[in-house]
Structure 1
Amino acid sequence: MPASPSSSVQAARKAIADRLRELRKDAGLTGRALAEGAGWYKSKVSRLENAVTPPSDDDIRRWCAACGAEDEAPDLIAAVRSADSMYVEWRRVQRTGLRRLQESYVPLYERTRVFRTYCANVVPGVLQTRGYATALLGSISRFHRTPDDVADAVEARLARSARVVHEGDHRFALLLKESVLRHRVGDAETMAGQLRHLLTAMALPSVSLGVIPSSAERRMWMIETFTVYDDAQAEVELLTARVNVTAPTEVRQYLSAFREFSRIAVYGAEARDLITTAMDALL
């Protein structure tokens, strides 16, 4: 069972809070004394030490100065920024539109050799057609009320996908629920084109595409869409944010979940039959 998507963030923030407490104790300071030295109310020290409030860069510097441990500040500031990057609200990265978000993934995609993606709601981004991506990103833009740069975002997504799918040493193990084949994104023609593209993509040597039949007996429940990049990082997609999981124990849990879903998925001719049946239902 994968841990809560936010557990990595909570654990990272707690580790920082614990380190702040250790610095205070090593300096022989009470919470009141540290607060006075930093120019705060005592309640702020308690909130920081209990990970109730994430510290700002200035908070870290003041804390370390009060403890006579200024040399600890840079590492702690870096740790705070790393924890913040684990949970990224879509509104923060989409405030200027969707194109830059698509482009921001390029370095990660180019250095990843093995992609493992489980999709519970839409077709994986690397296999989306222009029509499907336009309809999907358009709905995202409207829902999140982002600046309308959908056409540019689609171009960025397609260019990124073309590079990693058709060039370089990249492999894609992709799983999607059968319901994804029937959840219409765009009009019937758009959806039919997307399903035809899936049939074509299945022949690519870099792609392994499995479909989890709705009738499959499940050994575990359906969970949120996620991708594991190599064995180093998992990204979970929520409605309001993306969660970057880097704790090794949690990444292993997502790999374990992927293996469980792989066991109940069908491939080859059986997967093609499910895709073809979904296409026929559009007529």
Structure 2
Amino acid sequence: MAIEPDQLDQSGLELAAMLKHLRNQAGLSGVRLAARCNMSQSKISRIEGNKLRPSLVDVEQILNALNASPAIAAEVMAVARIAQTEWQDRKALHRKGLDKKQLELAGLEAATTDFRYFLLSMTTGLLATPDYIRESIAHAPTAQQAKAVAMKLERQAVLLNRSKRFTFLLTEQAVRYPLVSSDAMAMQIDRLASLALQANVRIGILPMGVKYSNTPLSTFTIYDDRLATIETDLGAAVFRDPKDVRSLLDRFTTYEAHATFGDEARELLTTWAWSFRR
């Protein structure tokens, strides 16, 4: 699943060019191909012009209509899967405005029922205190910070929607990383312990001594079974291909089996909060 950002930039163009080349090679006009695929000619034109990102089903229909060989179809589908991935550059997001990103996340949260978060090195905004949020975006343009903090805090209301289910898996590093002052860290960890009592919120802890993976780790979020994001310090990759989402769901389930929940998790959190108070 390792995909470089420059691959994402080129994959859409490459896919469009490959599909157009295969159509020309088959001697079909856009109109005839559209009829075979039960699509509009304008849709075929937009796909070939890289003005519309085709779904994997769209690409499969086109390849079947073109009678593409298994080898060619596999090559095109590999490119299509990469084209289904979106790269969100962190610097570009800052230029666009943190408020736009918060609106995007709020819309995604409104449309999601089952949330899964694996938090590797820091706590996510939905679980964070105001102090923690402010420090987590201190690198962003100063003019954007106050509005972004307010919007992040407003988004936390989604946790109160009992029709939605949340599972947060946090490593010990994510819980205890001293992003803010000792007193503020104690309050941050107290918030985690408090939220763990909510019926629709499950908070699992992965202590340092627990081995739960043999592969490099990344922070990721899964929204139902339709979309997932993987975050790095440079930005985030958004995955829509069901195979990629399923891969992350399987990984999450493996981590979840090694996590501590309930009273035992709250006991750990209480101990760690008091370590900051001391």
The corresponding residue for 2:148 is 153
CA distance in 2 between counterparts of 1:70 and 1:136 reads: 45
Q: 1:123 & 1:70 partners in 2: Cα distance?
A: 45
Q: 1:134 to 1:14 in 2, by over 3 A?
A: same
> Contact conserved, 1:99 with 1:150, CA < 8 A, in 2?
no
Q: d(CA) in 2 for partners of 1:136 and 1:221?
A: 27
User: Which residue number in structure 1 is paired with residue 58 of structure 2?
Assistant: none
Output the amino acid matched with 1:157.
Answer: K
Superposed, which structure 2 residues align to 1:1-283 within 5 Å? 3-5=1-3, 9=8, 14-27=14-27, 72-76=44-48, 77-79=51-53, 83=83, 86-138=86-138, 140-141=139-140, 146-162=141-157, 164-167=158-161, 169-282=163-276, 283=278
**SS at the partner of 1:95?**
helix
Unaligned runs of 5+ in 2: 29-40, 56-79
Shift of 1:256: 0.6
**1:212–1:264 contact (8 Å) kept in structure 2:** yes
TM-score, normalised by the number of residues in structure 2: 0.76
Does the CA contact (< 8 Å) of 1:210 and 1:265 recur in 2? yes
Matched AA of 1:165: L
Post-superposition Cα deviations, 1:126-165, rounded to whole Å, max 9, x if no partner, equal 1111111111111x31xxxx35321110110111121x11
Instruction: Tell me the CA shift for residue 168 of structure 1.
Output: 5.3
Deviation at 1:260, TM superposition (A): 0.8
Q: 1:212, 1:173 → 2: CA distance?
A: 13
Return the alpha-carbon distance in structure 2 between the equivalents of residues 275 and 225 of structure 1.
20
- Pairwise CA RMSD of aligned residues? 2.6
2:132 is aligned with what amino acid?
A: Y
CA distance in 1, matches of 2:96, 2:42: 37
Distance 1:15 1:178, change over 3 A: same
Q: CA deviation at 1:251?
A: 0.7
| Residue identity in the other structure for 1:133 | I
Cα 1:84–1:160, aligned 2, differ >3 Å: closer, same or farther? same
Alignment partner of 2:121: what SS? coil
TM-score by length of 1: 0.75
Give, in angstroms, the shift of residue 249 of structure 1: 0.9
Identity %: 24
Structure 1 110/22 Cα, relative in aligned 2: closer, same or farther at 3 Å? same
- Cα distance, 1:27 vs. partner? 5.0
